[in-house]
Chain A
């Protein structure tokens, strides 16, 4: 596991580290990076769907957070503030890719046939245990990547990063009802996609 000497910063809260980093202590900010880099990288990977973009977005997010520290006043958790920056950096990368040049998070959600769940089969009790860890990760990542950006971004913040509905709405500049409707669609689409892997009697 990646580790960096912490110079006594490991026991401090995020907020205490932010205050030290604001005062010019780069070791304090390094500790914040250590704490959050794995989750932020998972986030940038999920949103961009591209390894190179995810690595760039990860670095740009922490550099931007470092440079903007004076603007962080502790109104939210440091992590939530960092997630907001990482989402924006990831979306910028996504828009630069040809596949989604003009996509907008607040475009209206149409209710088409895919709104209705198709598969009505039950799953095994612990379906994830049918697969080795790496294989499971590929199934889950593949399912998330198959969602449209407006759905996967909301899903990743709510159900992977486990932000609240309100925090997700704030991070994405969406209304709470818009977050909820996108989350429902995302969850139902993922459920349909995972059913063929996790359904009782399906082949692992």
Chain B
């Protein structure tokens, strides 16, 4: 069986679907009998999902206005 530290090194590639089929299968077999690695993979996936689910806040109106004014001032410069 692949050792745990090798699994850890491949977590990103696994979660990004960038593993070749053979390694993917080995990793999934490892996960079946290694609860620690399974938890680490699941919670790493959740970490990514939490950040990806965050929408950016609208800009404060004052900052938005300042930015637009700066663009127009820059444009009008001779």
A interface with B by C-beta (< 8 Å): 1-2, 4, 26, 29-30, 33, 37-39, 41-42, 55, 58-59, 62-63, 66-67, 115-117, 119-123, 127-128, 137, 140, 155, 159-160, 162, 165, 180, 183-184, 187-188, 190-191, 194-195, 198
Asked whether B48 lies within 8 Å of A140 as measured between CB atoms, the reply is no
Asked whether A59 lies within 8 Å of B48 as measured between CB atoms, the reply is no
B interface with A by C-beta (< 8 Å): 5, 8-9, 11-13, 16, 35-36, 39-40, 42-44, 46-48, 50-54, 56-61, 63-68, 70-72, 74-75
A63 to B68, alpha carbons, bound, how many Å? 10
Q: List 10 A-B contacts (CB under 8 A).
A: A2-B61, A4-B68, A59-B67, A117-B8, A119-B43, A122-B43, A123-B42, A165-B16, A195-B43, A198-B46
Q: Nearest 5 A-B pairs (CB), nearest first? A: A2-B64, A38-B56, A42-B56, A184-B12, A26-B75
Residues of A within 8 A of B16 (CB): 165
A196 to B58, alpha carbons, bound, how many Å? 29
A115 to B11, alpha carbons, bound, how many Å? 12
**Smallest CB gap from A65: residue in B:** B71
A30 to B69, alpha carbons, bound, how many Å? 10
**Which of B8, B35, B46 contacts A115 (CB under 8 A)?**
B8
**Smallest CB gap from A24: residue in B:** B75
Q: How far is the CB of B47 from chain A (nearest CB, A)?
A: 5
Asked whether B58 lies within 8 Å of A2 as measured between CB atoms, the reply is yes
- Given A66-B75, A140-B51, decide whether A2 and B59 contact each other with a Cβ distance below 8 A: yes
A121 to B51, alpha carbons, bound, how many Å? 20
**Smallest CB gap from B75: residue in A:** A26
Residues of A within 8 A of B67 (CB): 33, 37, 58-59, 62
Asked whether A183 lies within 8 Å of B12 as measured between CB atoms, the reply is yes
Asked whether A122 lies within 8 Å of B47 as measured between CB atoms, the reply is no
Asked whether B43 lies within 8 Å of A191 as measured between CB atoms, the reply is yes
